[in-house]
Structure 1
Amino acid sequence: MTASDTGGVVPALTVADLVAAIPGLAETGIAVDAVSYRTHPGASLTLGDLTDVAEAIRQSTDSGATGVVITQGTDTIEETAYLLHLLHPGSQPVVVTGAMRNPTLAGPDGPANLLAAITVAASPTARERGVLVVMADEIHAADRVRKTHSTSTGAFTSPTGGPVGYLVEGQPRFVSPAPPRHVLPAPVHRPRIGLYTATLGDDGTSLPAIAAQLDGLVIAGFGVGHVPDTWVATLTALAQTIPVVLASRTGAGPVLTSTYGFPGSERDLTNRGLIPAGFLDPYKARLLLHLTLAAGATTHEAAQAFRATANPDEPWPWPTPATTMPRT
């Protein structure tokens, strides 16, 4: 983003412009092949755009790239990173980054974030970790990172578990082991997945009309996964026709399955066929449900995918593709 003639900042810089603005890149010895793929604000990206990016990543890694860096507007980084994570089978790291302060402001953070992202993507220590988000010298896992502030340069955090690593004196240092990888087949359908958030006093009368247009639904419930009791009959009926996933609107911590027992509690809803999202927040639960259904999954297979993301002992419904390069 940079200044426009009509006021405000708009997507105008090429990736060559961004790379040219990075101080110290030449001293790293890292060769960068810079490609301007599309020029859209983060808010205007589509799932189709991102599946195309996933294919471009595959082509790059098959051609010998050590790693890949994606730059984009920060509005949707937390979603972009997780979607690409679910579609990236390679051992090469993919790092998503952006900037909270555009170049027209004092102290823009874009060049530093991009240098850090390139450094991580080139590092052998980042291999086998799938997609990472690097912002403000912190390294975040794609399935946990969230944008938690509208303007702060420290906007990206991982409320559940914290960062998996940091840039220390210009080099990545990981503090958590690489978790099991879950990779989905390429989409063959374009399902319509909705997200509906529980709010105080909502009686749920609009749910049937909304769900009638959908192939799957994510409910962002209160607390550990609760909804008003007036929703129960509707959600019970919906869960018989489409996959309905129960997440927490809090943004951190898990959805429970067996603690509370009142109508509309997590235990009541899972007994009625709703699928618990585990530690996934509603936005990431929506993407996992979308990609499972896009790959042709049944409701049972989609539920198994959510169980596997919550518990590493649970089997993943699809074979894990062989990585394209051995670990070094």
Structure 2
Amino acid sequence: MSSAEIRPRVIVFALGGTIAMSRTSTGGVAPALSADQLIAAIPGLGDTEIEVEVVDFRQLPGASLKVSDVTALADAIDDRLANADGAVVTQGTDTIEETAYLLDLLHTAAQPVVVTGAMRNPTLAGADGPANLLAAIQTAADPQARHQGCLVVFGDEIHAARRVRKTHTTSTATFQSANGGPLGYIVEGHPRLLNHLTHRTNVPAKPVDDTRVAIMTIVLGDDGTTLRAVSEHVDGLVIAGLGAGHVPADLVPILENLASRIPVVLACRTGAGSVLESTYGFPGSERDLLSRGLISAGYLDPIKARILLHTLLATDCDNQAIAAAFGAAGGYRDPETWPWPTDLSEGN
């Protein structure tokens, strides 16, 4: 077998975002660079001996991506991945924590999907796009990343899509995994995974744009006005509760009524830690709300919980299955309670 035949192969799907932006005639920057141009700007890529194929999939800022863009991307990746070691997605950082998790729920193959982008556009000194893209390609090509689903690589850190969050508006170290930390790092051009995911959480259906799942952040003195206004127009609801999953007592009857009609998931607005189950017993506490039919998000933050609920609604599964899925994905129940297969030992 020749050296050309054994070179690892990675497919890069470009969606736009800061990493692909250039100056506009009216001021500011906007997506403009092609996937080929992104690849051409990477110093040292040729030294890796990784064969790279590019696909110009979208040319949008991250804020303009839709659920249907991500489901179409998942299909495109699946169609092309049979003869590749992995895929890389470049996109705007505004929505990476959401698109990566949705891809993680939809992507079932052993090969990794690695999402990356940039905080500094190519017109700025110290633009981070080329380094992030190189690290993402190196991760996607590495056998260690197989069976890990969708990963986010940024600033030489490798994160699980299910955990990572954008935490700063401008810092190049914006992506953090508060619950568990990074899975690993890029060291001298090589991925080093110090932790490995032991199960996958794949959903056998694709969400659509017109399913409406809202996030309601509970605040001091909340009287339920916004909650009542939104409740008649959604198919599911995520409550970003105070502390460990608490709401004002006046909201309890509204939420109990809602939970009898649509799935209502209880998450925490804190950004780290799990919803509790039995510590507090006052009206509006986590114990009270869960007893009234709300579903705990566990360690999933509100944004991740919304993506999971949106995707689960596409399966037409009942509340019992939704609760089981959140138990496994949220880290407070055995992974085997996930309603669909999770075995990472299967596949190539």
TM-score by length of 1: 0.96
1:30 partnered with 2:50: yes
CA RMSD across the alignment: 1.4
Equivalent of residue 175 in structure 1, options 185, 191, 194? 194
Percent identical across equivalent pairs? 59
Quote the Cα distance in structure 2 between the aligned partners of 1:194 and 1:321: 31
What residue number does 2:236 align with?
A: 216
Structure with greater proportional strand content = 2
Partner of residue 43, structure 1? 63
The question of whether the paired residues in 2 share the 8 Å contact of 1:89 and 1:321 is answered with no
In terms of mean alpha carbon deviation, does 309-318 or 209-218 score higher?
A: 309-318
Equivalenced residues, count: 325
Change (3 A) 1:324 1:26: farther
Equivalent position amino acid for 2:39 in 1 = V
Q: Please point out which of 91, 95, 98 is paired with 1:79.
A: 98
Residue 319 of structure 1 deviates from its aligned partner by 3.4
1:194 counterpart = 2:236 = no
Contact 2:202–2:342 (Cα < 8 Å) also in 1: yes
- Contact 1:93/1:127 (CA < 8 Å) preserved in 2? yes
Matches within 5 A, 1:110-125: 110-125=129-144
Residue in 2 aligned with 1:129? 148
What's 1:96 paired with? 115
The worse-fitting range, judged by mean Cα deviation, of 244-253 and 204-213 is: 204-213
Distance 2:318 2:293 in 1: 14
1:5 to partner: Cα distance: 1.1
**1:106 maps to 2:125:** yes
Cα displacement string for residues 165-199 of structure 1 (whole angstroms, at most 9, x for unaligned residues): 00011100011122211100122665211110001
In structure 1, distance between residues paired with 2:294 and 2:220: 21
Instruction: Indicate yes or no: 2:335 matched with 1:319.
Output: no
Residues 117, 108 of structure 1: alpha-carbon distance in 2 compared, 3 angstrom cutoff: same
Check if 1:59 corresponds to 2:64: no
Partner letter of residue 319 of structure 1? P
Deviates more, 1:100-109 or 1:185-194: 185-194
**Pairing 1:305–2:325 present:** yes
Residue 89 of structure 1 aligns with an amino acid whose one-letter code is T
**Higher mean displacement: 131-140 or 307-316:** 307-316
Relative to 1, partners in 2 of residues 1:321 and 1:45: Cα closer, same or farther, differing over 3 Å?
farther
Tell me what 1:152 maps to. Answer: 171
CA gap of 1:321–1:14, structure 2 versus 1, over 3 A, is farther
**By how many angstroms is 1:323 displaced?**
8.5
Cα contact 2:336–2:342 (8 A) shared by 1: no
**TM superposition outliers: structure 1 runs of 4+ over 4 Å:** 320-325
Shift of the 207–60 alpha-carbon distance from structure 1 to 2, 3 Å rule, reads same
1:8 and 2:16 equivalent?
A: no
How much has 1:223 moved relative to structure 2?
1.0
**For the structure 1 residues 75 and 23, does the alpha-carbon distance in structure 2 shift closer, same or farther, using more than 3 Å as the test?**
same
Q: Please tell me whether the aligned partners of residues 307 and 314 of structure 1 are also in contact (alpha carbons under 8 angstroms).
A: no
Question: Does the 8 A contact of 2:266 with 2:275 survive in 1?
Answer: yes
**What whole-Å deviation, never above 9, does each CA across 1:82-110 have from its counterpart, x for those lacking one?**
00000000000100000000011101000
**Partner deviation per Cα, 1:60-99 (whole Å, 9 max, x = no partner):** 113x111000000100001111000000000001000000
How far apart, in 2, do the equivalents of 1:94 and 1:151 lie?
A: 25
Shift of 1:296: 1.6
1:255 correspondence with 2:237: no
Distance 1:195 1:313 in 2: 25
- Separation of aligned partners in 1, 2:103 and 2:84: 17
SS at match of 2:54: coil
Unpaired runs of 5+ residues, structure 2, are 1-20
Aligned position for 1:294:
314
TM-score between both structures, scaled by the size of structure 2: 0.91
Aligned-partner SS, 1:39: strand
State the match for 2:295 in structure 1: 275
Kindly provide the CA deviation profile for residues 200-252 of structure 1, in whole angstroms up to 9, marking residues without a partner as x.
11111231221111110000001110011110000000000000000000111
Task: Indicate the SS of the match to 1:241.
Answer: coil
> Structure 1 313/51 Cα, relative in aligned 2: closer, same or farther at 3 Å?
closer
Contact kept? 2:200, 2:343, Cα under 8 Å: no
CA distance in 2 between counterparts of 1:312 and 1:321 reads 13
